[in-house]
Chain A
Amino acid sequence: MVSGCLARVVYSDVKHNFLIHYIVALCILLASPIFFSLSQLDSILAAQPLELYVPLIGVVLMTPVFLPEQNESIYDIVRSKKINHDIVCILRLICSVIVILCMIGAYVLYMKNCNSQVTVRYFIGSSATALFLGAIGFAFAGIGRNVVVGYMASVIYYILNFSFGTKLGYFYLFSMMHGSFIEKKWLILIAFCMASATFPVRRIIRN
């Protein structure tokens, strides 16, 4: 019964609160041919759109997880219900992650179809960057209780990557463009830690 209720909650959430973000993310991907070609790219060039551009959908999809309840009184209402609100947020987050993976997967397949040199590693690498950027937005929006803070944090981190480059070490977002994949597993790991730490930190700060 509980799972059925959760399914209804998620369905309603997607319909009312998240559709717009999904559409924005899709538009970002669909707009990419304006900026660069996706066909006949060698492995280094293929990393460019997959690292510089596609991961921005992570910011778009993961940052607004807490957005619907940014209004304090809405937050109180949903919190006074039986199902723990954190569970709802986790479900939303999972939905976003799934959508990100699907979108990037489709994108990579399309590139492959256009004779670009992409492999499963590229898919994982691009997803890792997207999830990391998204997790920054998610954590800052959740802890700062303001979505704009989340967008700002992830955009600023993205900017930092241009200026600092490989000096960021394991946190460097664009390593694939330099042919390195080691950073990616760290990005995934840290993204996961950041996202899971957000909930307890949020609660501690509130109390």
Chain B
Amino acid sequence: MMLFCMECKKIFSSLTYILYSLLVILMIVSQYFMEGGEKVYPPSQGDYDYGEKIVEDHDLIMSTATDALTVEFLSNRYVCYPFGFYKAVHLDNEEQAKIEKYICEITGLDSEGIAEKKKNADVCYITDGTHDYGEYAIRDMPISVSMTYERFTDIMDDVDDILGGGSDYAVDGLVYKFSRVPMTYEDAVEDYNSILTDDRVTNAYARLFSDYAGIVLAILPVFVAAALTAADRRRRMSELIYSRRSSSLRIVFTRFLALVTTMFIPVFVFMVIALIQILIRYNGADIDMTAMFTLPTFWLLPNIMAATATGMLVTEILSAGAAILVQFVWWFMGLMAGGTAGLSGRIGKFTFICRHNALGNRSGFIMNWNNFVFNRVFYMVISVAAVLFTVGIYELKRGGSFNGIRLFGKGSIFRRKA
């Protein structure tokens, strides 16, 4: 406990932690308090647009997905987002033939049938750079009666593989991509009511809060963790600490706990502020007093833990700079993936940065609840495992049998004394 307090004190007085707190404050205030977390009002009748909603309608998915696939097949230009970046995939003849076979199977048409559709469709020639291709407007591909949804998802899975992943046909994304319908006034009212009744207000705001805070909390902790871990080496303290009696397990875990605790404090402060704000705004409504704490903690703690664990582990093995780089790449890919997955609702089993950029759409979130729980627990466990691994590395270094991998020789970039 004594060690824990000392570590916390050390972190509180470090420049990186102060910087971290300032940035967290800046992000949460500017994003959640000034922008997203406003009071919601019931929808008014006669609005032009109530947004879209996702329904799990298998027939709708099959027909729209088949249309989209045929369009892309006819132009041999498939748009994918493997890392969140746009990537146009062109297939060779053999692979095109496979896709054609699948389209035939789904639609029950043969090659001529598809050619017929192509001939009858409106075509729009697009000049992309110096290259021209035709885009065929096809919206009425038939679905074979014998086609089941199970078989359909198998085919789509295979198509996604052929395209190299990240396509619209990836199975867990089908429902988000091809099963959207416009919301009616009634839907909008229902969505609004569920914020008040099902979410009891705080749950909805807690989701939005976590969405905003999650982005920064998936990267910033790595700076603090890496700086703290590298500080020993830079101040030539390593040997002094190595020679003490404490076990490596105790030293490393105390540090990890101290880092996570201290870095959670600014977030916690904002949870309290957010709750107070809601209590004032929705005075009199039935408000869930705990949700503003439980959900964001469960949502955000794994982010802090994972980034901290990466910071500690990679710094021990390589260097602080490498840790920042690794976390940056992970964060960047997570962010881009989150962006293409649609900013709300779609949370996979391994999505690092979970997004839900809306107050409403409770149903979309609940649909993924099991994935979400698995996901968060997974990242917590992984983080603890990474810390255990760090303990192992630390023990090795302490015994002198490992000195860290020196990427750039003795006076490597991040090791020179400042």
Direct contact of A and B (CB under 8 A): yes
**Smallest Cβ-Cβ distance to B219: which chain A residue:** A159
Task: Verify if A84 is at the interface (C-beta below 8 Å from B).
Answer: no
A71 with B416: CB separation less than 8 A:
yes
One of B2-10, B79-87, B105-113, B343-351 contacting the partner: B79-87
Counting contact residues on chain B (CB < 8 A from A), the size range is 35 or more
B130 with A151: CB separation less than 8 A:
no
- How many A-B contacts at CB < 8 Å in the complex? 85
Interface centre among B23, B411, B418 (most CB of A within 10 A): B418
A40 with B321: CB separation less than 8 A:
no
A35 with B219: CB separation less than 8 A:
no
Question: B174 CB to closest chain A CB, in angstroms?
Answer: 23
B23 with A156: CB separation less than 8 A:
yes
B1-60 interface (Cβ within 8 A of A): 16, 19, 23, 27, 30-31
A37 with B321: CB separation less than 8 A:
no
A41 with B129: CB separation less than 8 A:
yes
- Contacting B131 at CB < 8 Å: which of A20, A40, A45, A162? A40
Question: A73 CB to closest chain B CB, in angstroms?
Answer: 10
- Contacting A37 at CB < 8 Å: which of B86, B331, B335, B411? B86
- Contacting B418 at CB < 8 Å: which of A45, A48, A70? A70
Task: Verify if B373 is at the interface (C-beta below 8 Å from A).
Answer: no
Counting contact residues on chain A (CB < 8 A from B), the size range is 35 or more
**Bound CA span A115–B85, Å:** 18
A145 with B418: CB separation less than 8 A:
yes
- Contacting A162 at CB < 8 Å: which of B129, B321, B335, B411? B335
**Smallest Cβ-Cβ distance to A159: which chain B residue:** B219
| Given known contacts A39-B88, A49-B85, A115 and B418 CB-to-CB distance under 8 angstroms | no
**Smallest Cβ-Cβ distance to A112: which chain B residue:** B129
A164 with B86: CB separation less than 8 A:
no
Task: Verify if A163 is at the interface (C-beta below 8 Å from B).
Answer: yes
A40 with B128: CB separation less than 8 A:
yes
B414 with A163: CB separation less than 8 A:
no
Question: A131 CB to closest chain B CB, in angstroms?
Answer: 20
- Show 14 A/B contacts (Cβ-Cβ < 8 Å), sorted by A: A36-B83, A36-B86, A37-B87, A40-B88, A40-B128, A45-B86, A49-B85, A146-B418, A151-B321, A152-B16, A156-B19, A159-B220, A163-B216, A164-B30
Apart from A152-B223, A162-B215, what 17 extra A-B contacts exist at CB < 8 Å?
A20-B408, A35-B83, A35-B85, A37-B86, A37-B87, A40-B77, A40-B128, A41-B88, A41-B128, A42-B129, A148-B320, A148-B324, A151-B321, A156-B19, A156-B23, A163-B27, A163-B30
Residue numbers of A with Cβ under 8 A of B are: 20, 34-37, 39-42, 45, 48-49, 52-53, 64, 67, 70-72, 114-117, 145-148, 151-152, 155-156, 159, 162-164, 167
